[in-house]
A = this chain, B = another copy of it.
């Protein structure tokens, strides 16, 4: 159905090799022939088969990306950055949304492997042995982005989640808060579950504050989850004066809940998010948040991959980027 290189060769009266040369830059082809070939390509509406080409070059120019949740403000932002940087390097990204489902991740990982993508970016939070084993056996550069590679020899690009949550908690404490609720992610999530929770805990303890079990609740980083968790927090007595969430989306959910119940932010409660996604500027009051350098993480992931694709620079293990608090309107000094 589609024209093949052979058809172009025949039509322009040259060999397939010449056509191939024209296709790949046109070095060592006379201008005259080049023109003839280009004309034939045009007339036949010919478009080279990426598949056949990949089969011989063993290169697909595709980077597979595993995202846990496409609707999350954090991941959609980081994805934009990845796409942009990949594109600038003449790579294309293939995105697969695993919806926090390990079986689905396994399936997509296998697909990427079969497609022979040149590299992969993984942003999963949960994992298991099957997945670790599969990734370990991969003969291609892999980068974990915004999550830690536990027990596998894979480079990860992260922030120091422990220190970031420590700093965030400290920030609220310095504002005069003593009763600080924490809305966290699944503790089995090493990076944004366990580490962030530990940071919160340590900061509280270091400052002589007690951990109130009622104030500590765990969800799944999504808006709805933040809302539900906050309902629980509001039933506490006494109520906390500040809420620290493990994601901006959760903080936004908590914010919505607080407003729905007739309270004011930051007058009645200070709310602090985590991620620094676009969400922080969308809600009112604007959300004070612990920022991850989202754009930079995407850019760094591609940069690293490009370096690995060119030569084997295998000495890096972790790249830890800087976090920082961006103050907006949702937190108040007591």
List chain A positions with a Cβ less than 8 A from chain B: 1-2, 45, 47-52, 54-55, 60, 70-71, 76-77, 79-80, 83-84, 87, 92-97, 99, 104, 108, 110-111, 113-116, 137, 139, 223, 252, 255-256, 259-260, 278-279, 281-284
Distance, CA A71 to CA B72, complexed state (A):
9
The answer to whether B60 and A51 touch across the interface, beta carbons within 8 angstroms, is yes
The answer to whether B47 and A252 touch across the interface, beta carbons within 8 angstroms, is no
For A110, the chain B residues whose CB sits under 8 A away are 47
Distance, CA A195 to CA B276, complexed state (A):
36
For residue A184, give the distance in angstroms from its CB to the closest CB of chain B.
20
For residue A1, give the distance in angstroms from its CB to the closest CB of chain B.
5
- Which of the residues B50, B255, B282 comes within 8 Å of A116, measured between beta carbons? B50
For A80, the chain B residues whose CB sits under 8 A away are 70-71, 97, 99
Distance, CA A92 to CA B108, complexed state (A):
9
The answer to whether B50 and A282 touch across the interface, beta carbons within 8 angstroms, is no
Distance, CA A260 to CA B77, complexed state (A):
25
Nearest opposing residue in chain B for A116, CB measure: B51
- Which of the residues B47, B95, B282 comes within 8 Å of A283, measured between beta carbons? B282
Distance, CA A217 to CA B91, complexed state (A):
38
Distance, CA A1 to CA B79, complexed state (A):
30
Distance, CA A2 to CA B255, complexed state (A):
51
For A49, the chain B residues whose CB sits under 8 A away are 55, 114, 116
The answer to whether A97 and B83 touch across the interface, beta carbons within 8 angstroms, is yes
Distance, CA A87 to CA B106, complexed state (A):
13
Knowing that A93-B96, A279-B282 are A-B contacts, what are 11 other residue pairs whose CB atoms are under 8 Å apart, sorted by A's residue number? A1-B139, A80-B99, A83-B97, A87-B104, A92-B94, A94-B94, A223-B278, A223-B282, A256-B282, A260-B284, A282-B282
The answer to whether B47 and A113 touch across the interface, beta carbons within 8 angstroms, is yes
For A283, the chain B residues whose CB sits under 8 A away are 256, 282-284
Most chain B CB within a 10 A radius of its CB, from A80, A94, A108: A94
For residue A49, give the distance in angstroms from its CB to the closest CB of chain B.
6
Distance, CA A84 to CA B256, complexed state (A):
28
The answer to whether A139 and B2 touch across the interface, beta carbons within 8 angstroms, is yes
25 A-B pairs, CB-CB below 8 angstroms?
Answer: A45-B137, A47-B110, A47-B113, A47-B114, A48-B114, A49-B114, A50-B111, A50-B115, A51-B55, A52-B55, A55-B55, A70-B76, A70-B79, A71-B76, A83-B96, A92-B96, A93-B95, A93-B96, A223-B278, A255-B284, A256-B281, A256-B282, A256-B284, A282-B283, A283-B284
For residue A140, give the distance in angstroms from its CB to the closest CB of chain B.
9
Distance, CA A70 to CA B95, complexed state (A):
11
For A71, the chain B residues whose CB sits under 8 A away are 76-77, 80, 278
